[in-house]
Amino acid sequence: MESFSLILAIVVVTALAFDFTNGFHDTANAMATTISTGAMRPKIAVAMSAVLNLVGAFLSVEVANTISKGLVDEAGIRPEVIFAALVGAILWNLLTWLVGLPSSSSHALMGGLIGATIASAGVGAVHGDVLVTKVLIPAIAAPLVAGIAALLATRLTYSLGKKADGDASKKGYRAGQIASAGLVSLAHGTNDAQKTMGVITLALVAGGAVAPDSDPPMWVILSAGIAIALGTYLGGWRIIRTMGKGLTDLQPQQGFAAQTSAATVILASSHLGFSLSTTHSVSGAVMGAGLGRKGGVVRWSTATRMFVAWGLTLPAAALVGALAEYVTGFGNWGTAVVAIFLVASSAVIWKLSRREVVDHTNVNGVEEEPAGVVTTAIAAVTPPPAGPSEELAATIPAQASAERKPSTTTTPV
């Protein structure tokens, strides 16, 4: 009993650590467009998002029940299995954060859980029907639905805004962005915080601490909400840069359309118990908003890297989870080895991230890779200059753009 209590405590702490990484990994879902358009200052934006993530954690337990009761068979699942699953999810979150890719924390968690469960109890312990209907289908449908909705909403806002005063309209959309960003943060709390609640509840059931088919206890809901809020406040600045500037250049109208569309999709899925990826939803909405503005552009090189990461998330986390479960099967020393590996790997990733620091002071910096795409997009919506001074006039925007670049940008010699 003493050994069991220790492993259960380790599982709970590791689950909250995953929830923390989920918070800073997915902050971009709510706040990237608001920060990139200047509607809110970065630190204020992530603080607001953190508070609303905490509030959202208390609004529903449907997604938590999908994780704890539906995805895998509770019978035969040991606490060590949950620990191994969390190792796979945390490492994938940290790796994708390091390279600034908005991958799905939800799918990392479920991939780790599926891999560890198969390694422990076989393929039959995974409920394939739940995996398909509540995980895989929403993973494909969510970005498509959010993207189409954002594209149509963007075109509608620009159409309605033609008759409105330009400055007043932009101020109104910036206010709308703040409201819609708050809605996405609330939705993120109702969906993503619940996944950690579900995992902890599954571990408690596996360890005999609560009865099977139980809802998450109140202390689980509270601790998961606090962990994701703290992670959100730190701000996943690398991913915010990719979502806000790397995919497309957004104006306030587009940011408002993208966030409203994504929040609607996420809240609806939470109500239905779908373990939806907020990352997929918001990314799809951002791309849809980028395509919805005349002359807008989506940087498909960045989008392609995101799609590859999305496709790798489930199998990569599952593989790490399965290997971790195999090692924990050797007993307490095996569990200790996995724990040491997790801590050491996390430390190495953090050390690598210090080579190029991205924080609230440079999150809106212009990246080198998409610079050509930015220039093309500007040229597409800018009328050609007239007269013999055409070449001189064309250099003025480029010079102004160069002056606005952060001081860290290296000027080619």
Q: For position 346, what pLDDT does the model report? A: 94
Instruction: Give every CB contact of residue 307 below 8 A, 6+ residues apart in sequence.
Output: none
Task: Say what the pTM is.
Answer: 0.76
C-alpha 367 chain-centroid distance:
20
Binned at pLDDT 50, 70 and 90, residue 2 comes out as very low
pLDDT of 403 higher than 60: no
Q: For position 65, what pLDDT does the model report? A: 66
Q: For position 378, what pLDDT does the model report? A: 32
pLDDT digit string, tens, across residues 184-207: 888 778 777 777 888 888 888 877
pLDDT digit string, tens, across residues 157-175: 888 766 655 666 667 777 8
Mean pLDDT calculated for residue range 240-264: 80
Instruction: Give every CB contact of residue 132 below 8 A, 6+ residues apart in sequence.
Output: none
Amino acid letter, 372: G
Mean pLDDT calculated for residue range 332-355: 92
Mean pLDDT calculated for residue range 240-265: 80
Instruction: Give every CB contact of residue 135 below 8 A, 6+ residues apart in sequence.
Output: 71, 107, 110, 274, 275
Instruction: Give every CB contact of residue 133 below 8 A, 6+ residues apart in sequence.
Output: none
* Out of 67-81, 213-227, 228-242, 344-358, least confident range: 67-81
Binned at pLDDT 50, 70 and 90, residue 235 comes out as low
Binned at pLDDT 50, 70 and 90, residue 372 comes out as very low
Nearest to 18, CA basis, from 182, 197, 138: 197
Q: For position 260, what pLDDT does the model report? A: 85
pLDDT digit string, tens, across residues 203-223: 888 777 887 777 788 898 899
Q: For position 43, what pLDDT does the model report? A: 86
pLDDT of 358 higher than 70: yes
Q: For position 66, what pLDDT does the model report? A: 63
Nearest to 85, CA basis, from 202, 191, 183: 202
pLDDT digit string, tens, across residues 44-75: 888 888 898 888 888 766 666 666 566 777 66
The Cα–Cα gap between 291 and 285 comes to 10
CB 22 within 8 A of CB 231: yes
Percent of the chain topping pLDDT 90: 18
Mean pLDDT calculated for residue range 362-379: 45
Could you identify the residue written with the tokens 């497309």? 248
pLDDT digit string, tens, across residues 12-55: 999 999 999 888 887 666 787 788 777 888 888 888 888 988 88
The whole-chain average pLDDT of the chain stands at: 78
Binned at pLDDT 50, 70 and 90, residue 365 comes out as low
Mean pLDDT calculated for residue range 127-133: 84
Q: For position 46, what pLDDT does the model report? A: 87
Binned at pLDDT 50, 70 and 90, residue 1 comes out as very low
Q: For position 148, what pLDDT does the model report? A: 92
pLDDT of 407 higher than 80: no
Q: For position 37, what pLDDT does the model report? A: 76
Percent of the chain topping pLDDT 70: 78
CB 70 within 8 A of CB 114: no
Mean pLDDT calculated for residue range 307-335: 92
Binned at pLDDT 50, 70 and 90, residue 392 comes out as very low
pLDDT digit string, tens, across residues 70-96: 677 766 678 888 899 999 999 999 998
Q: For position 296, what pLDDT does the model report? A: 74
